[in-house]
Amino acid sequence: MPPPASSVRLQDEVDSLMREKLDLHSQLFEAAQIQRKLCGPRELRHGCLQFASEVFAARFLSGDFTTFLQSDSKVLVAHGDIAGKGVAAGMWFTNLAALLQSCGHPYSDPAGIASEINRHLCCLRPVAPFVTAFFARIDCDLGELTYCNAGHFSPILLRADGRTDLLEKGGPLLGAIQGAEYDLGEVMLDPGDVLVVYSDGVLECRNTSEEEFGLDRILAALRHAESTSAQATLMMLLANLQDFANGSPLYDDISLTVIQRDAKCRHARISAKECRTSS
């Protein structure tokens, strides 16, 4: 006896919903691949400096972003976190990616980049989300790093001798205050120094006991590491994070950027002022 017409219709509806679900997953996967490409290279090396980054989305598309832009001896690093997650944050990512391409160049002033993006986002309020970001311009020949921290969690600079600095200078998060002023900070990356930029998803990653990973565990992992490359340091931090989570799901997007100067770098440490004087 053939099944009732109502059962056939129900099965057809279920099959249609499954096809739509598979199509949606396929489109989200394709969007995630596009987002990854827009972020730019995950690894970069110039002279004695190595760069590595990675982003993991909690829900298909990520609100975190990282990118490296290079020209001659200059590299511009951008690492940020768009408020929210999932599809909405991923859509705003494309807007931020376009802004970085238009106003962010390896010779650009990081504070100027922050000001321009803040102006743009403030004009779109209340639709536009808040964004935290860290912008850094690095002279790979000198090891000189000029940065602006726009409301982002302070990156960690681990010196070769074990000292740590937090890069805090900058201004408020982007999109919050019209006409906000942003300051520049300057540091030198000496041989063996490691700079780690991270999102709140790293700090707030939880284990099965609902403990958070936190800043102290990042510092402890860095101090015990003997990584000779930025990529190895990045993988070590991700491994520590994974071991800590012990299978717990991601509550937020996770992103890391590592900048590392070779311990046996042959370039002498000189300031930009000394360089201009000698020329």
Task: Encode pLDDT of 115-174 as tens digits.
Answer: 999 999 999 888 788 999 999 999 998 999 999 999 999 999 999 989 999 999 999 999
Q: Report how far apart, in Å, the C-alpha atoms of 250 and of each of 55, 59, 132, 208, 242 are.
A: 12, 9, 20, 12, 10
**DSSP 3-state assignment of 184?**
coil
- This prediction's pTM: 0.82
Question: pLDDT (tens digit, 9 = 90+) per residue, 85-97?
Answer: 667 777 788 778 8
How far is Cα of residue 198 from the mean position of the Cα atoms in its chain? 6
Reported as a single tens digit per residue, the pLDDT across 201-238 is: 999 999 988 899 999 999 999 988 777 799 999 999 99
Burial label for 172, CB within 10 Å (0-12, 13-18, 19+), is middle
Q: Tell me the pLDDT of the chain averaged across its residues.
A: 83
Domains and CATH numbers, the chain: 42-266 (3.60.40.10)
Round to whole Å and give the CA distance between 170 and 166: 12
Tell me the percentage of the chain whose pLDDT exceeds 70. 82
Which phi and psi angles does 103 have, rounded to 5°? -115, -5
